[in-house]
């Protein structure tokens, strides 16, 4: 039996996968399942070995270069089929890379996570300085490129992203006259929302020149450039103090060796009664390493932390961890919406880049989707304060503020 057959025999029990080999011969794996769509793939010569040696990177690169083609279903169906059979909580090792690939991946991760200031800007530019048109094609109009908040999975992406902003701002308990810092401000949507809803002055900082340009344009267009400002600066170089700090989807780029630096700096930037809300992708299990595909093609220097690693960053710094929330499948729903919009924009994306880029991008979104729906990724929202008295005694204030912020938007 060929190695690829042994791999799929172990990996696929539920759902139907049909494999067409380079010589035209076929074999099917698994059995029909009402939840999982049947998938047929065709492999060119050499693709089998690449997939068996490292399933994730091998599948990605063979799909990108066309030596793996999907004749029934699409890349999301394929990844969902395989990962549904190997759910994180069931501890099935069928999808683990070989020992050699695992060792190489850990070394690459160790090198990549040494995310010093001189590399941070380059790493951010690799992903966020892509064409503005690309992000317009699959994000909501406010360009929220982070996990949305689905009070109902049937909600639109626009509704879920508006609810995400309300959910976070409600937790911050912002009062009139406060100054707010947005670390990793993206294209400015959160900063503009905070000012519009609370009247607070906001400073957003980013390392992406493309994001900075658009954020400033949006503030000017809204007539609030004097109250909502954006700067191209590393958080480590920032001075001053703020009543509230928010950081959404930026911590994944900090790098574990810099966690202590991050939390130390944030404490320095907070007033004595200051509060911070950190929103980050996280691992449901223990520490790991960034997979080779993501490190190579999507987020060089990026790393998704375990909760224990985040704790090592702030413990001993005289912070109060005042609230923790775990969003389990919210990012999965978000990514499915992004994936569907990307697929609908196939021709426009190919015109911007090429077919290989389109395949890379859909593999990235589909892979992230299954990591939240079947894998070990979640989203953490962690609230911190320097003071034991800055926030109300119970969480009731969050729900009350959120209801006011979302009133009329449902």
pLDDT at residue 126 tops 50? no
CA–CA separation, 104 vs 106, rounded Å? Answer: 5
Count Cβ atoms below 10 Å from residue 216 Cβ, excluding itself: 18
Q: For position 173, what pLDDT does the model report? A: 98
Q: For position 167, what pLDDT does the model report? A: 98
Residues 343-384: tens digit of each pLDDT: 999 999 999 999 999 999 999 999 999 999 999 999 999 999
CA–CA separation, 230 vs 215, rounded Å? Answer: 7
Are domains 3-97 and 115-406 of this chain identical in fold? Answer: no
Task: Answer whether 213's CB lies under 8 Å from 269's CB.
Answer: no
115-406 — its CATH code? 3.40.50.150
Task: Report, as residue numbers or ranges, the catalytic residues.
Answer: 368
111 — pLDDT class (breaks 50, 70, 90)? low
- Residue ranges covered by each domain of the chain: 3-97, 115-406
Chain-centre distance of CA 218, in angstroms?
A: 24
Q: For position 129, what pLDDT does the model report? A: 53
pLDDT at residue 104 tops 80? no
The whole-model pTM stands at: 0.91
Among 4-13, 165-174, 228-237, the minimum mean pLDDT is found in: 4-13
Q: Which fold has domain 3-97?
A: Nonspecific Lipid-transfer Protein; Chain A (3.30.1050)
Task: Answer whether 43's CB lies under 8 Å from 65's CB.
Answer: no
Among 54-63, 117-126, 237-246, 287-296, the minimum mean pLDDT is found in: 117-126
Mean pLDDT of 212-236: 97
Q: DSSP string of 194-207?
A: HHHHH--EEEEEES
Residues 312-330: tens digit of each pLDDT: 999 999 999 999 999 999 9
């Amino acid at each position: 039996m060929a190695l690829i057959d042994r791999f799929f025999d172990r990996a696929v029990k539920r759902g139907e996968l049909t494999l067409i080999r380079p010589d035209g011969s076929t074999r099917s794996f698994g059995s029909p399942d009402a939840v999982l769509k049947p998938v047929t793939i065709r492999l060119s010569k050499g693709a089998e070995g690449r997939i068996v040696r490292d399933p994730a990177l091998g599948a990605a690169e063979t799909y990108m270069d066309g030596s793996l083609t999907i004749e029934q279903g699409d890349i999301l169906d394929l990844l969902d089929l395989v990962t549904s059979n190997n759910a994180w909580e069931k501890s099935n090792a069928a999808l683990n890379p070989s020992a050699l690939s695992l060792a190489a991946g850990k070394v690459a991760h160790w090198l990549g996570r040494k995310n010093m200031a001189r590399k941070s800007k380059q790493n951010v530019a690799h992903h966020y300085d892509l064409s503005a048109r690309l992000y317009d094609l699959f994000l909501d109009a406010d360009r929220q490129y982070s996990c949305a908040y689905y009070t109902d999975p049937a909600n639109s992406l626009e509704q879920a992203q508006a609810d995400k902003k309300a959910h976070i701002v409600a937790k911050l308990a912002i009062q009139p006259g406060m100054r707010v810092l947005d670390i990793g401000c993206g294209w400015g949507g959160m900063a503009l929302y905070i000012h519009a809803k609370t009247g607070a002055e906001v400073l957003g900082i980013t390392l992406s020149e493309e994001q900075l340009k658009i954020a400033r344009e949006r503030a000017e267009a809204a007539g609030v450039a004097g109250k909502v400002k954006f700067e191209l600066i590393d958080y480590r170089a920032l001075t001053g103090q703020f009543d509230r700090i928010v950081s959404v989807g930026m911590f994944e780029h900090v790098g574990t060796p810099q966690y202590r630096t991050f939390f130390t700096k944030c404490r320095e930037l907070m007033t004595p009664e200051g509060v911070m809300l950190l929103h980050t992708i996280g691992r449901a299990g223990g520490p790991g390493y960034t997979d080779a595909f993501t490190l190579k093609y999507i987020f060089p220097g990026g790393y998704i932390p375990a909760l224990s690693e985040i704790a090592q960053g702030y413990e001993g710094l005289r912070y109060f961890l005042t609230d923790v929330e775990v969003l389990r499948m919210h990012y999965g729903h978000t990514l499915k919406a992004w994936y569907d919009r990307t697929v609908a924009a196939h021709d426009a994306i190919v015109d911007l880049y090429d077919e290989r880029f389109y395949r890379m991008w859909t593999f990235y979104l589909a892979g992230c989707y299954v990591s939240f729906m079947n894998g070990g990724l979640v989203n953490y929202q962690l609230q911190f304060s320097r003071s034991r008295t800055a926030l109300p005694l119970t969480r009731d204030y969050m729900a009350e503020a959120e209801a006011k912020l979302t009133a009329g938007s449902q």
